[in-house]
Structure 1
Amino acid sequence: MSLLSLTPPQIHSHAHFSPTPFPMSILRRFNLNPTNHRLRHRLATLSAAVRQDTTVWTPAPLSEIEPAAESLFHVSIDVSDSPDLATSHTRAGQYLQLKVGDSPKPSFLAIASPPKLAIKLGVFEFLVKSVVGSTAEALCGLKKGDVVELSPVMGNGFDISRIDPPEKFGTVLVFATGSGISPIRSLIESGFDAGKRSDVRLFYGARNLKRMAYQERFEDWESSGVKIVPVLSQADDSWTGESGFVQAAYTRAKELSNPSSTGAVLCGQKQMTEVRYYCYHLSFLTT
């Protein structure tokens, strides 16, 4: 079984993290003591300075911002005046940093739109969760025409060659929770020959239907060959579909006829990686 994921690090469309600019071999030479707070603070300050000095920021205006689901916003950014930035998005699963105004802490956002959209229309689309006190919240409070700053596109994205040709990997299981559906949308709409495979399922988890984005796209996704399996963790009594967590829904469904011809794609909360333990006997590959 081949596994494509966004690790390391795992990226959420609203995630905030600070990847170190130092190779791990260098960090080990410092022989850091967890109690040496002064040294840790100096390293963190140096790390931030390196990031600030090396990142090239491109200003770009918002072309659209609107609610996508409860606490989630659909954000479109016009990059038509920056063709090099637009064409640098080459693979689903890539991400970038975004700054709003003088905010000292950028937000890391997975690109939700497929690469072809940036090339054709000069647009990057994102699914952003508004988190109180974050850059993402500031972004969601902007309006059309407001200008933000974007870093270069980052990451290797999903290496679809790991599950090609479709005749060899007839089954592909896709797992996403919350705003983790963002790069999965990019993957599905980029195309990975789902229609040529015998079994492609997306287990998409959310608290309830109000928290589930992209429902208006489900019909198109299914017509491309992806079966949508919504999984609600806090469903009301009227819900008749899958409930609980996506990893539990997977164990109930399973139905793997041949593990050696099965691929999997994961993006979401850390708990979702329990899927790996349910499939411990299979071979995994990561990007």
Structure 2
Amino acid sequence: MTLSKLKPLRHLSHHLRLRSSLAVSSVAVPQDTTLWTPSPLINVSPAAESLFHITIDVSESPELAASYTKAGQYLQLRLQDPNTRPSFLAIASPPSVAASKGVFEFLVKSVAGSTAELLCGLQKGDVVELSVVMGKGFDIDQISPPENYQTVLIFATGSGISPIRALIEAGFGADKRSDVRLYYGARNLNRMAYQERFKDWESSGVEIVPVLSQPDYSWTRERGYVQDAFARAKRIFSPQSTGAVLCGRRQMAEDVTSILVSDGVPGKRILKNF
């Protein structure tokens, strides 16, 4: 083959390699296909030390509000600052609040240098963007009907109380069960959110067991970690009719799960949310 015929072939080969390279590059670039809905803040207020109540108006987005159907679901929230990353947040209010008032409520921990910290510094009227509601939520069908599952043990630490609030206030037949306990852990009372709701939760049939890891000298109730307080109390009389709901630190969830399984509680009835 002559040199003059080789040159076009080399050019064609180079062109094909270039096109292939461009095709690979275009595939490698991630595309954000998330549907984001701009929504204004209604309220930003302290809930406890380093924790904030955040209320967001979704009344102009009825499809988004209606997509929240089960306690334990969550979404992504992002600020309008392109330099910040989206944050995953569990919805703290029950689905009925979204349906009746057109709002989502959150309990947000302010962590230095995070999107959450910036969110907690915003004010009423500031606009954020919300993704669609995600996750399957707590599968309460696994511990229903209440007559068949008389014991439900609930465990939460820190801001993990957020979806637990949604569960309690959405209702899961606590008043029809004989033993419903919430083991709620925090460093001290100043870090324990929703204390103003405890009376209502107890009226709905939930016994609240606050557990403080670093209480002051006057504290006379449970000390240490949630899993330790539960190990001391236990009181599981019928494992096959017992269910559990867990949300918070992974170590807590692993330890509590280990205790429950060793006592004979079926794994499918241990509902987790991280």
TM bucket (normalised to shorter chain) is: 0.7 to 0.9
Amino acid at match of 1:269: R
Q: Which residue of 2 aligns with 1:13?
A: none
Distance 2:194 2:244 in 1: 21
Cα distance in 1 for residues equivalent to 2:193 and 2:260: 28
Superposition pairs of residues 235-274 of structure 1, within 5 angstroms: 235-273=215-253, 274=255
Structure 1 position 106, deviation (Å): 0.2
2:44 maps to 65
Identity of aligned residues (%): 67
Say how many residue pairs are matched.
242
Q: Distance in 2 between matches of 1:187 and 1:80?
A: 22
5+ residue gaps, structure 2: 1-23
Give 1:133 shift: 0.8
What corresponds to 1:109 in structure 2? 89
Normalized per residue, the structure richer in helix is: 2
Q: TM-score, normalised by structure 1?
A: 0.82
Q: What secondary structure is seen at the aligned counterpart in 2 of 1:279?
A: helix
Are 1:278 and 2:259 counterparts? yes
Q: CA deviation at 1:279?
A: 2.3
Q: Give the conservation status (yes or no) of the 8 Å contact 2:261–2:267.
A: no
1:201-240 maps to which residues of 2 (within 5 A)?
201-240=181-220
Residues 126-170 of structure 1 show CA distances to partners (whole Å, capped at 9, x for unaligned) of 000001111100100000000000000000000111100111100
Question: Aligned equivalents of 2:259 and 2:226: distance in 1?
Answer: 12
* Cα 1:119–1:46 shift into 2, 3 Å: farther
Amino acid at match of 2:79: V
SS in 2 for 1:239: coil
**2:261 aligned counterpart, secondary structure:** coil
1:91 to 70, 79, 104: 70
Higher relative contact order (CA closer than 8 Å, sequence separation 6+): 1
List structure 1 runs of 4+ shifted beyond 4 angstroms.
none
Question: In structure 2, what is the Cα distance between the partners aligned to 1:184 and 1:280?
Answer: 21
State the partner residue of 2:57: 78
Q: How far apart, in 2, do the equivalents of 1:104 and 1:141 lie?
A: 14
Matching of residue 165 in structure 1 with residue 145 in structure 2: yes
Find the aligned partners of 1:55 and 1:66 in 2 and give their Cα distance.
Answer: 29
Q: Match of 1:57, as an amino acid?
A: W
Q: 1:152 to 1:279 in 2, by over 3 A?
A: same
Tell me, what secondary structure is at the counterpart of 1:167? helix
* Cα deviation, residue 46, structure 1: 4.8
Which structure has the greater CA radius of gyration?
2
Alpha-carbon shift at residue 104 of structure 1 (Å): 3.7
Distance (Å, rounded) in 2 between the aligned partners of 1:168 and 1:97: 36
1-structure distance, mates of 2:194, 2:84? 31
CA distance in 2, matches of 1:123, 1:250: 35
**Structure 1: how far apart are the matches of 2:37 and 2:252?**
34
Q: Distance in 2 between matches of 1:152 and 1:168?
A: 35
- Cα distance in 2 between the residues matched to 1:219 and 1:46: 54
- CA distance in 2 between partners of 1:234 and 1:133 (Å): 25
TM-score (norm 2): 0.86
What 5-or-longer segments of structure 1 have no aligned partner? 1-41
RMSD: 1.6
Q: Distance in 2 between matches of 1:185 and 1:112?
A: 6
Aligned-residue offset at 1:277: 1.5
Residue equivalent to 2:123 = 143
Q: Counterparts of 2:143 and 2:259 in 1: how far apart (Å)?
A: 20
